[in-house]
Every structure is written in structure tokens, then in C-alpha cells.
Structure 1
């Protein structure tokens, strides 16, 4: 029987906690957050739950809550990641993170290995934020990985819907090729409320990603591409309109680039393309300079445009009554897509493997679980990794990202997903 600490019971963490509560191999789900209202809201709805207040900016607070747990599930902002990783090592627990942190670059740059680093992965990168991101992933793989291996535990990062579920779906698509040249991860957030609700997940995370240059893996190296740039149109057969997808700063090309030879059959190019109400809202803000993190003077007052804009954006709905109210008001659209396009060779021919992820929309997610489609896909997407932990489906130790599962583990992941209405459809086409 396993004990799991869920750190951060917002949109994703609360969904995972509720699912873990139903697992026969789980003895206790410890729900932890600084916001005790959020904690009590989750604990009151499950049977095996226990609530505790944790200040994740204090490692010792995490350690105190994590005593005796088998798994720490981190659903907190990136700024807390180092504390949670260090706490997991101290209590000798497995670790799972929905995100892939960008706050470990100093750990890498101050390490002996980091000081000697000349692998050239960032040579063609222009953004300092992207260089920090690359160095943070190196710190996870090359510094924290050996530490978790030493205590015989596993840490997995990037385990939500994207990254996470989409990475496993990408592995499934690439399986159909003999060699892979190019991967596209294509996401459309098509749930639009009548009220002003541009984001269904953390606005600060969304706008932070949107305020940065995009990251791609191109011709075997990491590069920056213009934020909101390089438009490409797609209309799949279940979509009633053509959608323009834009560049977006996201984890997937980074992971695929690091693991191109070991897990993606020599992939040379990887891109993340994004569309939806959040992108439509953020693009003009970005163009007007209102997503800048640099302080400026306005009528004698110093303001940071990004911070000021953020104060005017509603948080993602996470309570059942909030979500019901939005649905009852009416939706403009309840749609979307998550698609993997993998281009390469199969039996000597140029081939496109097109894998579509199908999942409940907003209304169906609420009917099934009282949550939004974003909470459902990310929460359940993360839960499937947690379920694999509590059912002892991992034999690896160290630190891996969600695109590094074995083929059998990928199959187990999607067996679990199908039970909750998340399925794949793959089409193999000649690439003319």
C-alpha cells in the first residue's frame, strides 16, 4: 500500500488526488497546499485524504509533510521545484512533476560538470531564457538523476497533458517509422466561454510561456523562433474550421532534442504549434509590449507590464460551482485538438504518421468528474503516471522525462487512459 503526497491541489493536483483516492494500492493521499480552502475542498470529497498546509518556499515544510510517503507529486509553480526535488531526496521518495523546471540553471552552471560544459546544444540559441531552460534540464538529468539513482528512486518530469500525455503519444507515433526526421506537436485549445475566460490553466504560466521566444529543435540543434510566429494552417476531418497554429515556447522540442537518438529514431526537427482563445488574447498584448518583464516608468510610477496585465486576468476555474456557472452561462465553442505529426521513412518510403488524441471536452469533463477539460486532460494525464508508480510499473531509477518510458510502459499508459475516455487514433499516410 502506497502513500502519496500531492503538493499543490489546484486544477491539476486536485484531479489527480481524486483519482488516486480510488486506487486499491493507495493507502493515503496527503493533500498539501498553502491555500487551506483548496486543501479542504479536495479532502472533503475523497475517502483516503488528509490535508496539511505547506509553504513550498521552505524545504523543511515539504519534508515534514512528506514523511513516509512513496511518491511526491509536484503540482506547484516552477519556482518551488528545487525545494521539492531536494525534499524528495531527503525523505527518499519517488518524484513526479507536471512541469519541467527552468530554475535549476545556477545548479548546472555552478557544478564542476557545468563549468566544463561545451556540448554546443545552445550554440544557436539567442534567448537567455532558453539557455537557462537547457541548462536546467541538464541539471535535472545529469545532477539530480544520479542522486535519485543513488537512493534507488525514480523522478519523472513533464507529466501533465503537454508535456506528458502528448509525449507518450509522440512515442507511439514514432514507433510506426523506421527513421524519424520531423515531429510536430499541434494543440488547439478550443473551449471558449461566453464570459472573459482566456485561460483554463494558470494564467501566469500561460503568459510566461507566451512572453518568450519559441523553442524548436531544427537541423539537430536547438534554436529560437519568433513568439507567435511561423503560422501554419490545419483542418483535420473532425474540425469545422481551418485553424492557424503559431509558434509557442513549450517543453516538448527540448525533450525530443535531448533524446532524439535514444527515443525518437534520429529525429532532426521538432516543433510545438499552438492555437486557441489564450493565444488570440495574448498575441496583441505581446505585440504591444504588454508582456514585457522589464520595469518601466508610467506617469512617475514604476510598473512591470506583465505583472500589471496579470492582475486583470481571472484565474482558472477550479471549484465545481464555478465551472457549472460558466457552462450554464453558455459556451461559444467546446472543441479542440491534440495531434502528433511524425514524418520519416517506413519501408524506404516517405511517410507521415498522424496520431490524434481524443478526450472529453468541457461539458463532458464536467459531467464525468465535475472539472474542466483542461483539468481532466492534465490531471488524468498526470494521474496515469502516478497510477504506474503505485502499481509498480516502473523499474527505472534516476531521472527521466515523460518521453523516455519504455514501449511497454507507453502501452500501459494508454491502457489506463482508455479507461477514462482518452484514446488515440493513428493514420499512416504516404508523405508526398
Structure 2
């Protein structure tokens, strides 16, 4: 029986805890967070869970919470990644991170890339030495979307260009621009966007370089724009070994959150530099965050929003992989379908975001506790062997998270 320690009790950590509570291979779950009230509320509804208060800025506090763990799931913001990694090594546990890289470097544009490389080069051998596996980037994007991108490679002899395309079109009557951490979402909105072009990684302006798509299940065309995400960096670093020599990779994003954040970005309201506003020094970012509601994570909170009314319950997650097969130009489209807000709540008492991101992450946790992984070291989710990708989607299908493949000659 496995002991799992979940650090962070936001929407993602909460979803993983609920699902693992139902796993027969899990004997004990420790839900840890600095917010004791959130921990207590979560564990009160679980059978196998105990609560713990910890300070993620303090590695020793994390180590104390994680004693005896077979798996540590990191559902905290990016800044805590290094500490949780170090704690996992100290207690000799497997490690899963919803995020993809940690802040090892102060350089805004290049630090993320160097941080990711540092994890592979430094932490990879450390986890291999203790015979454990660490996987980074294990939510919906990165995570589920990376597995879907890997799966597209089965249909190509060589790959030229990859697009990861995400539309989060869920809109409620209530003001709720984000269904996960607003701090994380808006921080990503203001950061330079990464692209991989002609074999090199570039930083581009966010909200730029639009593309328009309308797939057959969408009732209108949607404009997708640059957004700061890990996937182009990961695919670029792993292009030769895992992506059939891919030369170009892009992440394009659309939805209610993007529509809300774009004018704020253009007005300079997502900045962290303090400004003198009528004699008070304030960060514009903090003012915006102060006026955005927290995402709902408990059943009664979600029910209230649904009862008030849903304006739109749409979205898409699509991989477009362009390349060659048997000398022909081919487009592989992998479409990922999952329940929206109303259906996710009916099925599991969750939002659609929790269903896809939290459960997308839970599927990696399920593979850990079921001993489906036979590798050691540190990898990102786009580096899973194809047989593990198949296992992932086998489990996903049980949750009505389905991938459909369309192959087109172009």
C-alpha cells in the first residue's frame, strides 16, 4: 500500500487527493499546505487522508511532512519547485510536479529554459541514483497535452511543425475569469511566450501572432494567440529523440481568461514594479489579483455558480503535427475531449478545469501508485515512452477523457 504526500490543496491538489482516496493501492494520503483551514476542509471528506501544515519556503518543513512517502505530488506554484524536489530526494520518494520547471535563475527570458535544463542535468542523475522517478509538467497542459503530442508521433516518419492549441471558453454569469489560480494564470499572461522555430527557442510577445481555427465541433471560428507555456521549450529540447526531428513548435491559447487579461497587459496592469498611486506604493498586479474571485473547488461553491447560470461551456485541446509519412505530407490532428463544467460537476462534483487538469495530473499519480513506471531519473511528461502514453490514455478513457486522431494528407 502506497503513501502519497500531496503538497498544495488548491484545485489541482484537491482533485488528486479525492481520486487517490479511491485507489486500492493507496493506503495513506497526507494533504499538506500552509493554509490549515483548507487542509482541514479537504481531509474531512476523505477516508484515507490526514492533514499537515507545512511551510514550502522551508525544506525541513517539507521533509517532515513527507517522511515515509512513496510519492510526493507537488501542486504548488513554480517558486516552490526546487524545495519540493529537494525534499523528495531527502526522503527518497518518487516526485510528480504539475509545473514544468523551477526558478533557478533570475533572468526572466532565459531562466526558465536554463532551469528546465538544470533539472534534467542535475536532478535527473540524483533521482536515478536513489532509484526513483521524477516527472515534471503533469497537469493538462503541460501533461495530458504532451502525451497527446507524443501519441501523434506514431503516425509520422518525420515531423516539421507542432501546434498545441487550447481554447477555454467556459463563461459563467458570475464574474469568474479563471477556474484555477488567478495568480498563476495572470503571471503566465504577462510573461514572454516561447516558440521553437527552425531548431531554435525564441521569446515572443504575448497575445501576438494570432491564428484562427474552427474545428467541426466548434460553432464559430476562434482566434488563438501566443501564451507563455512550457511545451515549445520541452519539444525543442527533446526534438530529435521524442518528436521525429521537429523544427517548429508553438503553444496557442484562447478563451475567457485571455480576453480578460489582454487589455490589462496592454495597459501595464500586470506589472510587479511598484507605482506611486496617490501617495501609496502599490504593485498593479496585486491590485488586479485583489479583485479577482478565487476559483471554486468545493461542491457547494461550484453549485452556486452553476445555479446562477452558464453563458458558455465550450473549449478544445488540439495537437496539430505536420510532417511526412511514406514520403507524403501529412497532418495528424489529435483532439482531446473531456466533460465541460456542467457535465464535470454532474459526474464528479468538479469544475471542468479540475476535471481535466486535476485528473490529467491524477492519471500520472495513478500510474505511480500502480507501479506502471519502470524508469528512473527526471523527465518531463513529453518524454514518456509510447507504451506509457498508451497506458495513460487507457486510464484516461475510464474518466471520459478521450483522444480522437484524424490523419489528413495535405
Checking the alignment, whether the CA contact within 8 Å between 1:353 and 1:426 is kept in structure 2 is yes
CA drift of 1:193 comes to 0.5
Within-5 A mapping of 1:370-389: 370-389=349-368
- Distance (Å, rounded) in 2 between the aligned partners of 1:260 and 1:65: 38
Structure 1 residue aligned with 2:191: 212
- Distance (Å, rounded) in 2 between the aligned partners of 1:150 and 1:14: 31
Structure 1 residue aligned with 2:49: 49
Structure 2 residue aligned with 1:365: 344
Structure 2 residue aligned with 1:321: 300
Checking the alignment, whether the CA contact within 8 Å between 1:165 and 1:381 is kept in structure 2 is yes
Picking from 386, 392, 400, the partner of 1:407 is 386
CA drift of 1:300 comes to 2.7
Within-5 A mapping of 1:239-388: 239-388=218-367
- Distance (Å, rounded) in 2 between the aligned partners of 1:326 and 1:428: 39
- Distance (Å, rounded) in 1 between the aligned partners of 2:306 and 2:109: 38
Within-5 A mapping of 1:163-242: 163-242=142-221
Q: Does 1:59 align with 2:92?
A: no
Structure 2 residue aligned with 1:7: 7
1:278-319 CA-to-partner distances (Å, cap 9, x unmatched) read 000000001111112222222332222112211111111112
Structure 2: stretches of 5+ with no match in the other structure: none
- Distance (Å, rounded) in 2 between the aligned partners of 1:139 and 1:355: 31
Indicate the SS of the match to 1:175: helix
Checking the alignment, whether the CA contact within 8 Å between 1:231 and 1:244 is kept in structure 2 is yes
Within-5 A mapping of 1:149-160: 149-160=128-139
- Distance (Å, rounded) in 2 between the aligned partners of 1:105 and 1:315: 29
Structure 1: stretches of 5+ with no match in the other structure: 107-127
1:196-232 CA-to-partner distances (Å, cap 9, x unmatched) read 1000010011100100111101110000121100111
1:90-133 CA-to-partner distances (Å, cap 9, x unmatched) read 00001000001331237xxxxxxxxxxxxxxxxxxxxx423000
Structure 2 residue aligned with 1:80: 80
CA drift of 1:51 comes to 1.1
- Distance (Å, rounded) in 1 between the aligned partners of 2:79 and 2:227: 21
1:406-431 CA-to-partner distances (Å, cap 9, x unmatched) read 11000000000000000011100012
Q: Does 1:18 align with 2:18?
A: yes
- Please give the TM-score of this superposition, normalised by the length of structure 2: 0.98
Within-5 A mapping of 1:411-426: 411-426=390-405
- Distance (Å, rounded) in 1 between the aligned partners of 2:345 and 2:109: 36
- Distance (Å, rounded) in 2 between the aligned partners of 1:45 and 1:308: 34
1:41-95 CA-to-partner distances (Å, cap 9, x unmatched) read 2212221111111111111111111111100000011111111111101000010
Structure 2 residue aligned with 1:110: none
Structure 2 residue aligned with 1:122: none
Checking the alignment, whether the CA contact within 8 Å between 1:179 and 1:267 is kept in structure 2 is yes
Structure 1 residue aligned with 2:68: 68
What number of residue pairs does the alignment pair up?
410
- Distance (Å, rounded) in 2 between the aligned partners of 1:242 and 1:220: 30
Indicate the SS of the match to 2:404: strand
- Distance (Å, rounded) in 2 between the aligned partners of 1:33 and 1:395: 30
1:235-255 CA-to-partner distances (Å, cap 9, x unmatched) read 000011110101100011011
Indicate the SS of the match to 1:350: strand
- Distance (Å, rounded) in 1 between the aligned partners of 2:191 and 2:8: 25
- Distance (Å, rounded) in 2 between the aligned partners of 1:178 and 1:84: 39
RMSD over aligned Cα, in angstroms?
Answer: 1.0
Within-5 A mapping of 1:114-129: 128-129=107-108
Indicate the SS of the match to 1:413: helix
- Distance (Å, rounded) in 1 between the aligned partners of 2:280 and 2:36: 35
Checking the alignment, whether the CA contact within 8 Å between 2:124 and 2:377 is kept in structure 1 is yes
Moved over 6 A (4+): none
- Distance (Å, rounded) in 2 between the aligned partners of 1:421 and 1:38: 28
CA drift of 1:33 comes to 1.1
Checking the alignment, whether the CA contact within 8 Å between 1:148 and 1:399 is kept in structure 2 is yes
Checking the alignment, whether the CA contact within 8 Å between 1:105 and 1:139 is kept in structure 2 is no
